[in-house]
Amino acid sequence: MFADRAKIYVRSGKGGDGHVSFRREKYVPNGGPDGGDGGDGGSVILVVDEGMNTLSDYRHVRKYRAGDGENGAKRNCRGKNGNDLILKLPAGTVVKEWESGKVITDMSGDNKRFVLLQGGRGGNGNQHYATSTMQAPKYAQPGQPAKELELGLELKVIADVGLVGFPNVGKSTLLTKVSNARPQIANYHFTTLNPHLGVVDLQDAQGFVMADIPGLIEGASKGVGLGFEFLRHIERTRVIIHIVDAASTEGRDPVADIYAINKELKAYNPEIASRPQVIAANKVDMIFDDGSGNDPVANLKKEFEPQGITVYPISAISGKGIRELLYAVRNLLDSVESEPVTFAQEFFPEYMLAASEEPYTVVYDEKNSEYVVEGPRIEKMLGYTNIDSEKGFTFFQNFLKINGILNQLEELGIQEGDTVRMYGLSFDYYK
């Protein structure tokens, strides 16, 4: 079965504890401390595997743990580091924090490797705490605790063009005709479950990736039938091809089908429904003149071309009209943003899971006319965040918002342009 969603639990490795011991050798009656450091815990790392195209592996195994670091030992022996946990994902997988549904990372484009949870650092052995006044320290540092998360994995197909339409209108046949894809084709009244990708090569023009998206039924935006499974895969496409059975071989009204599809797209995400579209009026070789003067292709053009949606009559079997359709789609792709659709990070495990109970204070310093934010939580955040980088500064802003610091500043009456100081760093406040 094709699987494009999964829920899993992941945990990084705990850092090993530092060791307390003292050197004990013959002729060395008062040896100093020789407790070794604990090993670092393993990290949870996500990597893209180009050979994978489903999340089915994660439906069978749902819990994943990195290795814990070993404790330190005597004679300054450092504990062994825990093994990293490498989770392989298909390209296009969006990883979310389960409870909030916020995006942690989008494994597409150049994002091939992502450190999700850093393993806990190993604790220092008692050898680090010897001083001139404390030559026999009897304590060592415990290892940092493990971090854990529940994740939602969603596979969103990466394609430039999405083929949409009701079941049995010829999407798979068209994809087979124009690309290297080989989907299984049969006269089914239900729909195939997994999207198929194919590369379309054009003479004298740049090719593109086309996806046969699982067939749509009314109510999909509410989860009926394949529902979200269909709509999830169309989120990345930049141009949409609606394929309809212009010959109405199964008694369907092609005009009504187009409206039904657009209604579901708009209900799910209005931005998707506003993307460039064309209509492929398929099976024109099966249209017979019954003398009534009813031309289904002309009806489609009359209805939709005034709305800016061009209709192309084609036959996916014979190849008639396909060349014109593909070059029109290429022109549409050239006219829209070339930047692939990716999902921005909304949840940052690095600081959301770290020492959230540690205190901080937000006060107004009347003498210096500035607001001061201090405390162990703030100091740690600044210690591992490079706020000079764009990503680091985004980190910093989200940290202030999520931990309620911005709300407290506003409660104290902060205004735009006022100064906020944090451990020697000063910032101007702007909403």
* Strands lying side by side in the sheet with 113-117: 85-89, 44-48, 113-117
Query: Is residue 284 predicted with pLDDT exceeding 80?
Result: yes
Mean pLDDT value of segment 163-169: 82
- Is residue 197 within 8 Å of 157, Cβ to Cβ? yes
Helix H segments across 64-180?
171-178
Helix H segments across 52-170?
57-60
| Closest residue by Cα to residue 67 from 86, 47, 95, 46 | 86
* DSSP sequence for 325-383: HHHHHHHHHHHS--SPP-------HHHHSS-TTS--EEEEETTTTEEEEESHHHHHHHH
Mean pLDDT value of segment 118-126: 87
For residue 255, give the H/E element and its range. helix 254-268
> 204-222 burial by CB neighbour count: b if 16+ within 10 A, else e?
eeeebbbbbbbbbbeebbe
- Is residue 156 within 8 Å of 92, Cβ to Cβ? yes
Higher pLDDT, 13 or 234: 13
Task: Give the whole-number percent of the chain exceeding pLDDT 90.
Answer: 15
**220 falls in which pLDDT band (50, 70, 90)?**
very low
**What is the reported pLDDT for 41?**
94
Please write the tens of the pLDDT for every residue from 61-109.
899 999 999 998 888 889 899 999 999 998 888 999 888 888 899 898 8
Mean pLDDT value of segment 398-407: 78
- Residue 420's contacts (CB-CB under 8 Å, 6 or more residues apart) are 370, 371, 372, 373, 409, 414, 426, 427, 428, 429
Give the chain's count of helices (H) and strands (E): 11, 18
Query: Is residue 219 predicted with pLDDT exceeding 60?
Result: no
Query: Is residue 189 predicted with pLDDT exceeding 50?
Result: no
SS3 257: helix
Query: Is residue 170 predicted with pLDDT exceeding 70?
Result: yes
**What is the reported pLDDT for 47?**
95
Distance separating alpha carbons of residues 265 and 249, to the nearest angstrom: 25
Query: Is residue 325 predicted with pLDDT exceeding 70?
Result: yes
DSSP secondary structure letter of residue 189: S
Query: Is residue 37 predicted with pLDDT exceeding 80?
Result: yes
Helix H segments across 9-167?
57-60
**What is the reported pLDDT for 184?**
44
Query: Is residue 303 predicted with pLDDT exceeding 80?
Result: yes
Mean pLDDT value of segment 410-419: 84
- Is residue 373 within 8 Å of 361, Cβ to Cβ? yes
Mean pLDDT value of segment 111-125: 89
**114 falls in which pLDDT band (50, 70, 90)?**
very high
**What is the reported pLDDT for 2?**
46
User: How buried is residue 13: exposed, middle or buried, by Cβ count under 10 Å (0-12/13-18/19+)?
Assistant: buried
- CA dihedral 379→384→386→392, nearest 10 degrees, is -100
**221 falls in which pLDDT band (50, 70, 90)?**
very low
Phi and psi at residue 373, in whole multiples of 5°? -120, 120
This prediction has a pTM of: 0.64
**What is the reported pLDDT for 343?**
80
**What is the reported pLDDT for 228?**
52
* CA distances (Å), origin 269, targets 221, 258, 264, 357, 430: 9, 16, 9, 38, 31
Task: Give the whole-number percent of the chain exceeding pLDDT 70.
Answer: 82
Please write the tens of the pLDDT for every residue from 343-357.
888 777 876 554 455
**What is the reported pLDDT for 355?**
43
Higher pLDDT, 179 or 226: 179
